[in-house]
């Protein structure tokens, strides 16, 4: 049945675009669900425009796949999802200023209680707000420290707060390193200790959660209520150990060739005369730039694209809206052709990992910086 929905094949019609392969999203959802116990629901992280993929289009698809809980970084991100008719629970992971508390109620968002002081501010609104309590078990970012159970109990006693859940966050990455594994275990122990103290005091919190993508693959044995998966869902998880190796990237990034130009030996290309042709060359101008998320650090041969299945290195500086590549050795490149920054072209591929590595960063940063100006197409 679901196939019908994917029949429509689309590609970018504009200057630069993202292609989203929803069959791959379905595949990744299936892998994550198969790893997690049946009682644990996915609560996908669709913050930062769903890691650049497009929050509305991804969340809508996830709704269709039966996902009914999401997390975002800010209240405004949650509002955007509601305006796009996304159903289910939406948890705001980050700080919301008291000036925006009204949005939480109006758009049925759940707010993270960052610490006891913040709980008092939420409570002071004098109207019921649904929240999840954040417990800091070692990340040392947001959350009431696991050691201060007394404060957590005080949060539970705030009369205007509807406590729908409680959660923590792992600080380790998927290294397999025994020290990291021990830290993760100590975070789980700290969280479980808080949960049992709360239960002893007679409180019953409906949902508890601690796993991100790393947590799902490193600790599939855990039996919490939600897994807050982001990067794994998008198939850009940087570990190929075990089942993580079966995840597939959802996103491709492509741009149009806007011009093909002959450059003579000795001429320069682009701003700052950063590139001087050592020979007669053929340059393709691509209609994408750093405003779209192509790192400026890709200038002068650091980054490359695929055109007609062949690699074309970037020449000169990446500009705000345009990028120039060397196509001297690629036959038949024409205005209107497609250049692939992330994804497959013929038998060749530039993976999100390759792209991030060339940029000296991680896939999460590259993806979340993909610009709002890019078209998002479902293929
Ligand atoms: C972003 C985020 C996640 C998702 O992390 P991934 O590593 O992408 O799975 C989960 N929990 C919190 C608190 C986050 O900020």
Q: Give the pLDDT band (50/70/90) at residue 239.
A: confident
Q: Give the pLDDT band (50/70/90) at residue 3.
A: very low
The protein residue whose alpha carbon is closest to atom 15 in ligand 1 is 93
Token pair listed for 31:
């892998």
Give the per-residue pLDDT at 240. Answer: 72
Beta partners for residue 258, in sequence order? none
The percent of residues above 70 in pLDDT, for the chain, comes to 97
Task: Inform me whether the pLDDT recorded for 8 exceeds 70.
Answer: no
Any residues with CB less than 8 A from the CB of 249 and at least 6 apart, and which?
A: 21, 24, 234, 235, 236, 342, 343, 351, 352
Q: What are phi and psi of 206, to 5 degrees?
A: -60, -45
In whole angstroms, what is the distance from residue 51 CA to residue 63 CA? Answer: 17
* Residue 308 CA from chain centroid, whole number: 29
* Digit-coded pLDDT (tens) for 189-233: 999 999 999 999 999 999 999 999 999 999 999 999 999 999 999
Q: What are phi and psi of 253, to 5 degrees?
A: -125, 125
Q: Please state the atom number of ligand 1 nearest to the C-alpha of residue 51.
A: 8
Mean per-residue pLDDT, 69-86: 98
β strands within 218-337, DSSP E: 226-227, 251-263, 268-269, 275-276, 281-286, 304-307, 310-315, 323-326
The protein residue whose alpha carbon is closest to atom 8 in ligand 1 is 230
Mean per-residue pLDDT, 106-133: 98
Three-class DSSP category at 179: helix
Task: Inform me whether the pLDDT recorded for 241 exceeds 80.
Answer: no
Q: Please state the atom number of ligand 1 nearest to the C-alpha of residue 214.
A: 7
Q: Please state the atom number of ligand 1 nearest to the C-alpha of residue 45.
A: 4
Task: Inform me whether the pLDDT recorded for 257 exceeds 50.
Answer: yes
Q: Please state the atom number of ligand 1 nearest to the C-alpha of residue 134.
A: 13
Ligand 1 centroid–CA 143 distance in Å is 14
> Of 28, 43, 44, 45, which is best to mutate to test ligand 1, by the most ligand atoms within 8 angstroms of its C-beta?
45
Q: Taking Cα atoms as reference points, which of 353, 341, 292 lies closest to residue 314?
A: 341
Q: Give the pLDDT band (50/70/90) at residue 6.
A: very low
User: How many of the other CB atoms lie within 10 Å of CB of 63?
Assistant: 16
Ligand 1 centroid–CA 182 distance in Å is 20
CB within 6 Å of ligand 1 — which residues?
Answer: 45, 47, 93, 169, 212-214, 228-232
**Taking phi first (over 0 means left), then psi (-120 to 50 degrees means alpha), and beta for anything else, what does residue 275 get?**
beta
The pTM of the full predicted model, rounded to 2 decimals, is 0.95
Tally: H helices and E strands in the chain = 12, 20
Q: Taking Cα atoms as reference points, which of 160, 146, 73 lies closest to residue 115?
A: 146
> Of 187, 209, 212, which is best to mutate to test ligand 1, by the most ligand atoms within 8 angstroms of its C-beta?
212
Annotated active-site residue 47? The verdict is: yes
In whole angstroms, what is the distance from residue 114 CA to residue 374 CA? Answer: 34
Token pair listed for 167:
């959660």
Measure CA of the first residue to CA of the last residue in the chain; give whole Å: 17
The percent of residues above 90 in pLDDT, for the chain, comes to 93
Give the per-residue pLDDT at 15. Answer: 96
Mean per-residue pLDDT, 310-326: 98
DSSP label at 308?
T
Q: Taking Cα atoms as reference points, which of 3, 16, 5, 96 lies closest to residue 376?
A: 16
> Of 171, 228, 366, which is best to mutate to test ligand 1, by the most ligand atoms within 8 angstroms of its C-beta?
228
Ligand 1 centroid–CA 297 distance in Å is 26
Give the per-residue pLDDT at 13. Answer: 87
Q: Taking Cα atoms as reference points, which of 38, 32, 39 lies closest to residue 208?
A: 39
Give the per-residue pLDDT at 186. Answer: 98
Ligand 1 centroid–CA 191 distance in Å is 17
Ligand 1 centroid–CA 170 distance in Å is 9
* Digit-coded pLDDT (tens) for 176-189: 899 999 999 999 99
Mean per-residue pLDDT, 321-343: 98
* Digit-coded pLDDT (tens) for 24-49: 999 999 999 999 999 999 999 999 99
Average pLDDT for the chain: 95
* Residue 241 CA from chain centroid, whole number: 20
Ligand 1 centroid–CA 228 distance in Å is 6
Among 47, 134, 207, 254, which one carries the catalytic annotation?
47
**Residue 78 and residue 109 in contact, taking contact as beta carbons nearer than 8 Å:** yes
Three-class DSSP category at 166: strand
Q: Give the pLDDT band (50/70/90) at residue 9.
A: low
Q: Please state the atom number of ligand 1 nearest to the C-alpha of residue 213.
A: 9
Among 237, 271, 290, 310, which one carries the catalytic annotation?
271
Task: Inform me whether the pLDDT recorded for 1 exceeds 50.
Answer: no
Ligand 1 centroid–CA 225 distance in Å is 15
Ligand 1 centroid–CA 247 distance in Å is 17
In whole angstroms, what is the distance from residue 241 CA to residue 253 CA? Answer: 26
Q: Does an H or E element contain 42, and which?
A: strand 41-42
Q: Please state the atom number of ligand 1 nearest to the C-alpha of residue 232.
A: 9
> Of 93, 168, 239, which is best to mutate to test ligand 1, by the most ligand atoms within 8 angstroms of its C-beta?
93
């Amino acid at each position: 049945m679901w196939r019908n929905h994917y029949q429509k094949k689309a590609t970018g019609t504009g200057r630069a675009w993202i292609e989203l392969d929803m069959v791959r999203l379905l595949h990744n959802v299936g892998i994550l669900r198969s790893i997690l116990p049946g009682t644990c629901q996915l609560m996908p992280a669709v913050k930062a425009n769903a890691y650049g993929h497009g929050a509305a289009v991804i969340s809508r698809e996830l709704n269709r796949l039966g996902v009914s809980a999401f997390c975002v970084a800010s209240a405004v991100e949650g509002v955007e999802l509601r305006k796009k008719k996304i159903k289910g629970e939406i948890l705001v992971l980050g700080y919301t200023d008291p000036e925006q508390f009204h949005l939480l109620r109006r758009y049925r968002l759940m707010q993270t209680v960052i610490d006891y002081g913040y709980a008092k501010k939420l409570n002071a609104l004098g109207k019921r707000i649904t929240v999840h309590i954040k417990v800091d078990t070692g990340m040392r970012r947001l959350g009431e420290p696991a050691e201060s159970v007394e404060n957590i109990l005080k949060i539970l006693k705030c009369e205007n707060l509807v406590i729908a859940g409680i959660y923590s966050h792992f600080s380790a990455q998927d290294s397999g390193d025994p020290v990291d594994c021990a830290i993760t275990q100590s975070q789980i122990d700290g969280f479980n200790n808080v949960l049992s103290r709360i239960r002893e005091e007679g409180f019953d919190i409906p949902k508890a959660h601690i796993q991100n993508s790393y947590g799902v693959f490193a600790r599939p044995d855990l039996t919490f209520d939600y897994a807050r998966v982001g990067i794994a869902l998008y198939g850009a998880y940087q570990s190929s150990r075990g089942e993580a190796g079966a995840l597939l990237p959802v996103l491709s990034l492509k741009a149009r060739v806007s011009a093909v130009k002959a450059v003579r030996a000795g001429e320069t290309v682009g701003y700052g005369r950063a590139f001087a042709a050592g020979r007669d060359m053929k340059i393709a101008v691509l209609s994408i730039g750093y405003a779209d998320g192509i790192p400026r650090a890709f200038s002068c041969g650091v980054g490359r694209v695929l055109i007609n299945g062949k690699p074309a290195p970037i020449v000169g500086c990446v500009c705000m809206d345009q990028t120039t590549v060397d196509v001297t050795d690629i036959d038949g490149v024409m205005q209107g052709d497609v250049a692939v920054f992330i994804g497959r072209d013929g038998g060749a591929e530039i993976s999100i990992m390759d792209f991030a590595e060339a940029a000296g960063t991680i896939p999460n940063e590259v993806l979340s910086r993909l610009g709002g100006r890019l078209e998002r197409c479902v293929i």
